[in-house]
Amino acid sequence: MKIEKPIESHKRYVIADIHGCFYTFKQLLERINLQKEDQLFLLGDYIDRGLFSDKVLDYIINLKALNYNVFALRGNHENNIINASKEYDNKTFQFFVKKMNKSTNLLTPEGFLKPKYFEFFNSLPYFFELDKFYLVHAGFNRKIANPLFDFSAMLELKNKSDYFHLLNGKQVIIGHNVHYLNEIIKAINENYAKIPLDNGCVYTQKHKFYDTSQTGNLLCLNLDTFELTIQKNIDIDYE
Ligand SMILES: [Mn+2]
């Protein structure tokens, strides 16, 4: 899906991996002072891990209803939950959502995925093509002739270091893989071919893999100035 740049005075922002951190997301949007004419790109994984997946989704759906230019991509978490809702029997599905996802607030009292969320997830595209950028949840499979056809790579790609060249002349902006803040800032400042934006917003406490002094923020990149707004997780105050 190709998206044209807005006129000069309007801004373009990208936010990745909100993962249920509603209050942090809202605070970040207030700090950038998002206007209706701006473009806001979201890189997927709105749900799970944090406690407020439903509030995040309702907020995004409402911004769209109010005619904000919100462009939301599909993450593996959205893809997994719609697949599970189609493939599993209801008991297994509820178990999956409860145990794996902590997102029981996405379900009806009968244990089905609420139709408004199913519709939203089902509508999400896999990538956006902009003037100078591709935006995608996890990345592109650069080993095949046309990376724009490998949809599972777009959702799941784990490899942290396989892009040193632009894709069709464009920079690629990704979420999905947690990167430390200093790595992200370096990629932005040095204009890397691939810019990661997932700083592991939910990882605020001591963690077995991550140095949490370098994680725990939700980030917003201005695509035209490359200014980065760093919002510390405030959802922990609401849990
Ligand atoms: Mn992901």
55 — phi, psi (to 5°)?
A: -65, -40
Give the Å distance between the CA of 8 and the centre of ligand 1. Answer: 32
Q: Which residues pair with 196 in a beta bridge?
A: 174
The pLDDT score that the predictor gives to residue 182 is 97
Residue 98 is predicted with a pLDDT of: 85
CA of 177 to the centre of ligand 1 (A): 7
Q: What is the mean pLDDT of residues 107-115?
A: 94
Q: Could you tell me the distance, in angstroms and rounded to a whole number, from the CA of residue 176 to the centre of ligand 1?
A: 4
Q: How many angstroms is it from 124 CA to the middle of ligand 1?
A: 14
Spatial separation of the C-alpha atoms in residues 233 and 200, rounded to whole Å: 10
| Ligand 1 centroid from CA 54, angstroms | 17
CB 14 within 8 A of CB 43: yes
Instruction: Tell me the average pLDDT across 10-30.
Output: 97
Among candidate residues 200, 133, 124, the one with its CA nearest the CA of residue 173: 133
Q: Report pLDDT digits (tens) over 44-101.
A: 999 999 999 999 999 999 999 999 999 999 999 999 999 999 999 999 999 888 877 6
- Residues 103 and 164: their CA atoms lie apart, in Å, by 37
What is the pLDDT at residue 138? 96
Please state which of the ranges 26-35, 72-81, 206-215, 221-230 shows the lowest mean pLDDT. 206-215
| Number of other CB atoms surrounding residue 30 within 10 Å | 10
**CB neighbour burial string for 132-155, b if at least 16 within 10 angstroms, e if fewer:** ebbbbbbbbbbeeeebbebeebbb
The reported pTM is: 0.95
The token pair at 196 is 């990661």
Place 128 in a pLDDT band, splitting at 50, 70 and 90. very high
**158 CA from centroid of ligand 1 (Å):** 9
Q: Where are the domains of the chain?
A: 12-237
Inter-axis angle of helices 53-65 and 115-122, to 10 degrees?
A: 70
> Residue 116: is its pLDDT beyond 60?
yes
More reliable by pLDDT, 142 or 120? 120
Distance from Cα 152 to the centre of ligand 1, integer Å: 11
Statement: residue 114 has pLDDT above 70: yes
CATH of 12-237, one of 3.40.50.80, 3.60.21.10, 3.20.20.70, 3.50.50.60: 3.60.21.10
- Its sign, for the CA torsion 192, 196, 197, 203, is negative
In terms of Cβ atoms closer than 10 Å to its own Cβ (0-12, 13-18, 19+), residue 184 is buried
pLDDT score at 214? 96
Task: Kindly give the distance from the C-alpha atom of residue 138 to the centroid of ligand 1, in angstroms, as a whole number.
Answer: 6
How confident is the model over 159-213, as pLDDT tens digits?
665 567 899 999 999 999 999 999 999 999 999 999 999 999 999 998 899 999 9
